[in-house]
């Protein structure tokens, strides 16, 4: 049987159901790496590089008038809710 997995740290995430193998069964795995999906480890970013990327993200929503309209509508809806109605105790049957 061959199944596909993704390595995440020291774990293998299995991409298929293994319903035909009972829980607790010992399994021997023969690994075969798919060459075109192996990526080189990335070097950590310097503080300047990280700041430059963050600045790009901060400006991602800039100059989008539809967002201003959406947030205005959300703000209006937030402030129009008056709560739920509560029945007065004066009109209840004290039977």
**For position 46, what pLDDT does the model report?**
92
Query: CB–CB of 12/5 below 8 Å?
Result: yes
Residue pLDDT, tens place only, 28-75: 888 887 776 656 677 888 999 998 888 888 877 777 778 888 888 888
Q: How far is CA 17 from the centre of its chain?
A: 23
The pLDDT score that the predictor gives to residue 47 is 92
pLDDT, tens only, 6-21: 888 888 888 888 888 8
For tokens 């293994």, the residue is: 18
pLDDT at 48: 92
CA atoms within 13 A on the CB side of 41: 3
Please give the backbone phi and psi of residue 66, each rounded to the nearest 5 degrees, phi first: -65, -30
Question: Distance (Å, rounded) from C-alpha 27 to C-alpha 9?
Answer: 20
């Amino acid at each position: 049987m061959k199944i596909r997995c993704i390595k995440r740290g020291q774990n293998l995430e299995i991409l298929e159901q293994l319903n035909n193998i009972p829980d607790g069964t010992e399994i021997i795995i023969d690994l075969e790496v798919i060459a075109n999906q192996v990526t080189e480890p990335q070097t950590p970013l310097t503080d300047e590089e990280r700041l430059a990327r963050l600045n790009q993200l901060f400006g991602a929503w800039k100059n989008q008038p539809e967002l201003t309209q959406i947030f205005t509508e959300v703000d209006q809806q937030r402030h129009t809710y008056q709560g739920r109605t509560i029945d007065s105790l004066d009109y209840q049957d004290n039977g």
